[in-house]
């Protein structure tokens, strides 16, 4: 007897901006997910285009549609309040990063989920990228020896119009919470927990309340060290969006690495996955040999939504849970504090 597939999940999208639109586009590739409604207080354009009901607020939508799940892609400072409403209603959530704008906020979600467990996946989509899965395998195989250093670059120039949207200029945004939350999440995934940070931030290029440029140093529990050197106001070829084929609109510089990981026995460039190791002689005068590691490229947004379907159906635990994402927010809180106070800070343990 052939097994019948379950009916598609009924999914609503909350927040119909850049990311909401991207999720709707990805969802259309997946027969297992049905878009049933869109919530946005300021625009019904996307709902009209997709011919689904438009709502101005989440409560009304939840009561009217009772979706199986929601994708939340509204501004960062609304993430926790919106997710709390969905948890109260018992509805599964894919919540865009950052999970919250501070650890105090993230704790509200952790507490709510303890009282009322509902599947929640945090949208750190890069974790679903096969290139990261392969990099993690290589590190865990010991090919780098003991991981000692990571150099991470995220350098780009966002168009001035990006900042016409007010929330992106205000506390709760900035490149640390909007962009470096991804790099921080990946560093934790690849190298383990962070025990200390130092940081400089600057808003000298754009002059907004939030930073446009940052240098951050990390110390990991293992003793490894890492740095992120980042700006959204520079003309440079180094950064995840340019160096990988994730989002079509970004011009690509495929030969440039944005993460360089090195250990006692070898080094790995990401996303190229070039592995560098010594031959018989291992000292600074000897040649390093380069090996190209293969991997099967795939769209992490598609993989993330497929995984979300399984999370909602209770088949698997979320790859990035609220607690896990909250640990990255604890690191970001420490980065902000370190930059503000000009000293090193140990992230609060979650």
Ligand X SMILES: NC(=O)c1ccc[n+]([C@@H]2O[C@H](COP(=O)([O-])OP(=O)(O)OC[C@H]3O[C@@H](n4cnc5c(N)ncnc54)[C@H](O)[C@@H]3O)[C@@H](O)[C@H]2O)c1
Footprint of ligand X on this chain (CB under 6 A)?
A: 14-20, 39-43, 73-76, 78, 96-97, 123, 125, 165, 178
Q: Would you state the structure tokens that stand for residue 332, as one six-digit string? A: 């970001």
Nearest approach in angstroms of CB 232 to ligand X is: 12
Residue nearer to ligand X on the CB measure, 209 or 282: 209
Residue nearer to ligand X on the CB measure, 75 or 257: 75
SS3 at position 267: strand
Nearest approach in angstroms of CB 139 to ligand X is: 23
Residue number of the CB closest to ligand X reads: 17
Nearest approach in angstroms of CB 173 to ligand X is: 8
In this structure, the number of other CB atoms found within 10 A of the CB of residue 297 comes to 12
Residue nearer to ligand X on the CB measure, 129 or 262: 129
Instruction: Provide the β-strand partners of residue 157.
Output: 233
Residue nearer to ligand X on the CB measure, 42 or 284: 42
Instruction: Provide the β-strand partners of residue 276.
Output: 267, 290
Nearest approach in angstroms of CB 132 to ligand X is: 14
Residue nearer to ligand X on the CB measure, 79 or 148: 79
Angle between helices 322-341 and 103-115 (to 10 degrees): 160
> What is the Rg, in whole angstroms, of the alpha carbon atoms belonging to the chain?
21
Residue nearer to ligand X on the CB measure, 127 or 134: 127
Nearest approach in angstroms of CB 75 to ligand X is: 5
Listed residue (41, 75, 72) closest to 170, CA to CA? 75
What residues have CB less than 8 Å from 153, skipping those under 6 apart? 228, 229, 230, 236, 238, 239, 257, 258, 259
Nearest approach in angstroms of CB 246 to ligand X is: 8
What residues have CB less than 8 Å from 231, skipping those under 6 apart? 154, 155, 156, 175, 205, 212, 213, 214
């Amino acid at each position: 007897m052939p097994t019948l597939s379950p009916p598609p999940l009924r999914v609503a999208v909350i927040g119909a901006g850049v990311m909401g639109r991207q999720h709707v586009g990805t969802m259309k590739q997946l027969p297992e997910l049905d878009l049933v409604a869109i919530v946005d207080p300021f625009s019904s354009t996307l709902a009209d285009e997709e011919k689904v009901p438009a709502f101005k607020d989440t409560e009304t939508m939840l009561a009217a549609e009772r979706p199986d799940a929601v994708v939340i892609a509204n501004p960062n400072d609304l993430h926790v309040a919106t997710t709390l409403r969905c948890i109260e209603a018992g509805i599964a959530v894919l919540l865009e990063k950052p999970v919250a704008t501070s650890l105090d906020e993230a704790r509200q979600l952790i507490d709510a989920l303890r009282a009322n467990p509902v599947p929640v996946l945090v949208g750190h989509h890069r974790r679903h990228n096969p290139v990261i899965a392969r990099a993690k395998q290589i590190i865990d195989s010991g090919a780098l020896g003991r991981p000692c250093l990571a150099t991470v670059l995220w350098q780009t120039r966002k168009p001035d119009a990006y900042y016409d949207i007010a929330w992106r200029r205000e506390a709760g945004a900035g490149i640390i919470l909007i962009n470096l939350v991804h790099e921080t999440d990946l560093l934790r995934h690849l190298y383990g927990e962070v025990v200390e940070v130092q940081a400089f931030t600057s808003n000298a290029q754009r002059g907004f309340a939030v930073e446009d440029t940052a240098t951050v140093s990390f110390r990991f529990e293992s003793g490894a060290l890492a740095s992120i050197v980042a700006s959204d106001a520079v003309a440079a070829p180094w950064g995840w969006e340019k160096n990988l084929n994730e989002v079509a609109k970004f011009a690509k510089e495929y030969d440039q690495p944005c993460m360089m990981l090195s250990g006692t026995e070898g080094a790995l460039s990401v996303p190229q996955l070039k592995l560098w190791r010594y031959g018989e002689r291992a000292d600074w005068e000897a040649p390093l040999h380069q090996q190209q590691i293969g991997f099967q490229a795939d769209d992490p947004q598609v993989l993330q939504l497929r995984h979300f379907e399984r999370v909602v159906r209770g088949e698997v635990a979320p790859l990035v849970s609220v607690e896990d994402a909250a640990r990255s927010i604890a690191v970001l809180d420490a980065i902000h504090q370190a930059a503000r106070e000009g000293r090193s800070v140990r992230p609060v343990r979650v």
